[in-house]
Amino acid sequence: GENVEQHPSTLSVQEGDSAVIKCTYSDSASNYFPWYKQELGKRPQLIIDIRSNVGEKKDQRIAVTLNKTAKHFSLHITETQPEDSAVYFCAASRGASFGNEKLTFGTGTRLTIIP
Amino acid sequence: DARVTQTPRDKVTEMGQEVTMRCQPILGHNTVFWYRQTMMQGLELLAYFRNRAPLDDSGMPKDRFSAEMPDATLATLKIQPSEPRDSAVYFCASAANGGSPLHFGNGTRLTVT
């Protein structure tokens, strides 16, 4: 089955700096890669996703890049703010219908923004 | 803002007791997932259903866990008998066909003493 590795497990950055979280996956058939943000005591919430036919996607301060050849994808957060502090999970799945195929999650990155 | 609804929000029980967790997926979503979250294992898929049919429950300990969808608006996860190692947050999530992202409920925090 799919295996998703995520690094680093913890990350601290100064407010205003950029943060980068990296994931690798094992299943070459995976074609959908979402990122979830989970605040303490709350549910994971989708922040951005990317499909395998796209190399990069941006949404304001958040961007995701995908390298299918190397089987890795990354989350980039620019101009970080205190409210970006949370645990971030990457995930991967195969199948044409994206969200309704089972997701395999990475182990999470605890991001702390230092004011 | 449609949401996945899970009950109970918190459950404390003694070892050996039966635990039932319930989930109401977003109306129109045909795929329902059960995930378990622990510090050690992260988010693990336990089981999932599409159009109420079980597709994969390989992540679920079969001897004590069972998952069902009695109808399209209700999914249940039962543990009988519960053990302290079952203590975790159990998330239900749902998605629709055709490119809908996965939406999580608020979870059930289970503590087995």
pLDDT at A98: 55
Residues 6 or more apart from B78 whose CB is under 8 A from it? B18, B19, B20, B21, B65, B66, B67, B68
- Pick B100's closest partner by Cβ from A100, A103, A104: A100
- Give yes or no for A82 touching B (CB within 8 A): no
Q: What is the number of H-type helices and E-type strands within chain A?
A: 0, 11
- Give yes or no for B46 touching A (CB within 8 A): no
- Give yes or no for A104 touching B (CB within 8 A): yes
The pLDDT mean for chain B works out to 93
Beta carbons of B31 and A100 less than 8 Å apart:
yes
* Mean pLDDT, 10 residues at a time, chain A of 115 residues: 94 98 95 94 94 89 96 97 97 70 92 97
C-alpha–C-alpha distance, residues A53 and B56, integer Å:
27
- Give yes or no for A29 touching B (CB within 8 A): no
Q: Rounded mean pLDDT of B67-81?
A: 96
Confidence of residue B23 (pLDDT cuts 50, 70, 90): very high
Nearest CA in chain A to B51: A100
Contact B24, B4 (CB under 8 A): yes
CA terminus-to-terminus distance, chain A:
41
pLDDT at B98: 67
Beta carbons of B99 and A98 less than 8 Å apart:
yes
B8-40: string of b/e by CB count within 10 Å (b at 16+)?
eeebebeeeeebebbbbbbeebbbbbbbbbeee
Amino acid letter at B29? H
On the 0-12 / 13-18 / 19+ scale of CB atoms within 10 A, A112 is middle
- Give yes or no for A2 touching B (CB within 8 A): no
On the 0-12 / 13-18 / 19+ scale of CB atoms within 10 A, B76 is middle
- Give yes or no for A7 touching B (CB within 8 A): no
pLDDT at B37: 97
- Give yes or no for A81 touching B (CB within 8 A): no
- Per-residue pLDDT at B2 exceeds 60: yes
- Pick B97's closest partner by Cβ from A42, A97, A106: A97
Contact A23, A35 (CB under 8 A): no
**Count of residues in chain A:** 115
- Per-residue pLDDT at B10 exceeds 70: yes
pLDDT at A100: 64
Give the residue from A11, A3, A1 showing the smallest Cα distance to A75: A11
pLDDT at A35: 96
pLDDT at A1: 82
Nearest CA in chain A to B90: A43
C-alpha–C-alpha distance, residues A51 and B55, integer Å:
23
Higher pLDDT among residues A25 and B1, named by residue: A25
The DSSP element (H or E) to which A4 belongs, if any, is strand A4-7
Beta carbons of B101 and A104 less than 8 Å apart:
no
Q: For residue B107, which residues of chain A lie inside 8 Å, CB to CB? A: 43
Beta bridge partners of B19: B79
Contact B73, B24 (CB under 8 A): yes
Confidence of residue B99 (pLDDT cuts 50, 70, 90): low
